[in-house]
């Protein structure tokens, strides 16, 4: 199983050259299975490139898109997903409801006039919507060679963390963006630690670590963790590796490289996610 990062930037995309090494696209991630399966997580601006990669990989193209929540940095790339315009493609979209609205309703609103010229009815791909409950999954959802689990995490308006296991190889990923660890309730923490450790400690944890503890106070309640929190979670759960994501849009490559050095001194199996990075699990 391979994990490919299409976007790692939080809040808004950035395009200046001093951000290009870590990348300026917002959150989107692709999981490629050994049997050719594709799972996308979030539809930030990074999804366009990932969609092209799926389209090049095979015909017909089929993908499951897991949406963590609908804050704009996580869905603004959806209308640019190339698969939506291909008659041979099928895209399943899954998410718990937000603000009382199911995934189909929100996506139809995103693609409606006056926000985008092409409407849902005019898309060529076969689209299916999966309504999931906003509670920790009891049983995994099977998609090809993958098992998908999830749980709600602490974030304004709600957000979901996902776990993807590949049944054949035992490879596993937990993806948790937009999670505020410091304000999480014991139940929220318990559900998330379980997601990271069951059925076995995840091979890779990708977690929001936009802030640091020294500078966290003014941003308390904004819905993000500190990198120190992510290291604590990685240690407690015994995951194989940690990649920190949702980088602040004002943090340049130089600042992120410096931060990565500091993080690695604390936890050797950690790093900062970069656009284009591919991890084989």
Binding site for Zn ion (CB under 5 A): 10, 71, 73, 178
Cβ proximity to Zn ion, 13 vs 54, nearer residue: 13
Please, what is the minimum distance in Å from the beta carbon of residue 145 to Zn ion? 29
Query: Measured between alpha carbons, how far is residue 237 from residues 139, 198, 214 in Å?
Result: 20, 10, 24
Characterise 223 by phi-psi region: left (phi > 0), alpha (psi -120 to 50), beta (else). Answer: left
Closest CB to Zn ion among 60 and 156? 156
- Residue 229: both structure tokens together: 């929190």
Least distance to Zn ion, CB of residue 155, Å: 6
The answer to whether 248 touches 8, Cβ cutoff 8 Å, is no
| 8 vs 233 by CB, closer to Zn ion | 8
- What residues does 41 pair with on adjacent strands? 29, 66
Q: Residue 60: is the preceding peptide bond cis (ω within 30°)? A: yes
Q: For Zn ion, which is the closer residue by CB, 10 or 51?
A: 10
Residue of 54, 106, 40 lying closest to 85 (CA atoms): 54
Q: Smaller CB distance to Zn ion: residue 178 or 191?
A: 178
Minimum distance, C-beta of residue 23 to Zn ion, in the bound complex (Å): 15
Smallest distance from Zn ion to CB 71, Å = 3
- How far apart are CB 74 and Zn ion at their closest, in Å? 6
Q: Which residue is at the shortest CB distance from Zn ion?
A: 71
Tell me whether residue 62 or residue 71 sits nearer to Zn ion (CB atom): 71
CB neighbour list of residue 22: distance below 8 Å, 6 or more residues apart: 8, 9, 247, 251, 253, 256, 272, 273, 274, 275
> Nearest distance from residue 234's CB to Zn ion, in Å?
20
Please state, in angstroms and as integers, the Cα–Cα distance from residue 80 to each residue in 5, 113, 117, 248, following that order: 17, 15, 11, 23
- The token pair at 166 is 């590949």
């Amino acid at each position: 199983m391979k994990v490919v990062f299409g976007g790692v930037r939080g809040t808004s995309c950035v395009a200046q050259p001093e951000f290009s090494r870590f990348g300026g696209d917002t959150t989107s991630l692709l999981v490629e299975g050994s049997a050719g399966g594709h799972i996308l997580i979030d539809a930030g601006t990074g999804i366009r490139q990932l969609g092209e990669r799926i389209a090049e990989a095979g015909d017909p193209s089929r993908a499951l898109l897991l949406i963590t929540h609908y804050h704009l940095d996580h869905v603004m790339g959806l209308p640019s997903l190339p698969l939506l315009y291909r008659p041979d493609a099928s895209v399943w979209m899954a998410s718990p409801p937000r603000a009382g609205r199911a995934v189909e309703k929100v996506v139809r609103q995103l693609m409606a006039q006056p926000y985008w010229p092409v409407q849902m009815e005019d898309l060529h791909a076969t689209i299916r919507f999966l309504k999931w409950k906003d509670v920790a999954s009891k049983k995994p959802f099977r998609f090809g060679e993958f098992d998908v689990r999830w749980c709600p995490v602490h974030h304004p308006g709600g957000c979901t963390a996902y776990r993807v296991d590949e049944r054949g190889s035992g490879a596993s990923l937990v993806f948790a963006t937009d999670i505020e660890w410091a304000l999480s309730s014991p139940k929220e923490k318990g559900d998330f630690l379980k997601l990271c450790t069951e059925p076995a400690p995840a091979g890779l944890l990708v977690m929001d670590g936009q802030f640091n503890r020294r500078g966290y106070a003014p941003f308390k309640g904004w819905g993000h963790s500190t990198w120190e929190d992510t290291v604590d979670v990685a240690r407690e759960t015994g995951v194989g590796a940690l990649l920190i994501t949702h980088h602040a849009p004002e943090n340049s490559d130089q600042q992120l490289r410096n931060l990565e050095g500091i993080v690695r001194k604390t936890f050797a199996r950690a790093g900062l996610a970069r656009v284009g990075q591919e991890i084989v699990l």
